[in-house]
Structures are given as C-alpha cells and as structure tokens.
Amino acid sequence: MTTYPKSMKLSDGTSVDVRPMTADDRDAALAFARGLPEEDLLFLRVDLTDPEVVDDWIANLENGQSSSLVVYDESGLIGYATVHRTSARWTRRIGEIRINVAPAYRNRGLGKLITSEIFDVARGMGLRKLMANTIVDQRAAQAVLQRLGFTTEALLADFVDDQEGNTRDLIVMTHDVDGHSDQVGDRVQI
C-alpha cells in the first residue's frame, strides 16, 4: 500500500515530492504546460495551456474519472502522471495513462518513477489494463513505454489532427496492470 505525499530520489540523487493532484495545483499545472516546448504541446491530447481545459481535468479528478499524481521540486511542478477511465461498462476496467515530464528532468528516471506510481494508483482503482496513445513521430515516448513493458496493439492511420491541421498516425499501446513489477502492493491510500 502506498501512502502519499512522499519524497523520492531520482537516478541522479535529486529529491522530488510526489502526491495526488488537487484543485490547488491548477495554477502550477498551467505554468508547467506553458513552459513546455512547442513540439510537446503539439502532441498533447488536450491543450493544457488553456485554463478551462485544466479546470475540466480537475473536475475529472473530483468526480473520480481520473487520478493524477504531480511531482514537485523546489522550483515547482516538474511532471505528472494521470490515469483516466471511462464510465462505459465494457471498458470500465481499462485506464488510459498520460505522463509528462519537464524537459530538464527527462532521462533522469522521473518518467519511470511516476509511471510505477501511477500503476499502483491504477491497481487501487481496480483497473486491469492500461493504454497509452502516442503519435508515430513520438519515438522517444514509444521507446520508454516499450521499456516499461507496453506493447503496440494498433496503428491507426491518419487518425489524429495536430494543432496545424495535419493528420498523424496514432499508435495504441497497452500493458496489463498486474504484469508491472516495479512496485509492490496492490492498493493505494491517498
């Protein structure tokens, strides 16, 4: 059982704090998104630089459709992981994960750390499978997901329109929650 908040160390020894996201994180989430490179924003599922979109995210947290973990260092929000589920009966035990890490923290173990944490959250939500969507161009994200045990389930041609109106191919990857072995325990207390 994992209890939050908690401090964790990255592979380079940097200490970060991980905890569930709340409405109090709204402004930090906006600042985080607005500080991302344009290329990163191009491939976000929603425009996290828009206050209304972040308000919707918080509403999903409050109504139980999503659970998010945020990661802070002394300067502010440096990453997040979210697991989102739909209310459709036939997919109620499937969750979609969304993870984003500040450029300064990439390749330092933060992505793996928060992915492991969100797997524990997913177990606590009773989910059995996680799904992650990437655009074909996001090769680094696909490599990270593959190292974590995700496998490609589908390639959907011309499925996504980017912010400039160009179509992109979508890759759907999945992972069985119980098959993830980086963390021990099957319930999360928040």
> pLDDT digits over 27-79, tens only?
999 999 999 998 788 777 788 999 999 999 999 999 999 999 999 999 999 99
**Can you give the residue range of the structural domain that contains 74?**
2-189
Residue type (1 letter), 157: A
As for how many domains the chain has, the answer is: 1
Tell me the pLDDT band of 180, cut-offs 50, 70 and 90. low
Q: What is the CATH number of the domain that holds 19?
A: 3.40.630.30
Checking if the pLDDT of 152 tops 60, the result is yes
Distances (CA, A) of 66 to 20, 32, 78, 111: 11, 19, 19, 19
Mean pLDDT score of the chain, rounded to an integer? Answer: 87
> pLDDT digits over 8-33, tens only?
999 899 999 999 999 999 999 999 99
Task: Specify burial of residue 72 (Cβ count, 10 A radius: 0-12, 13-18, 19+).
Answer: middle
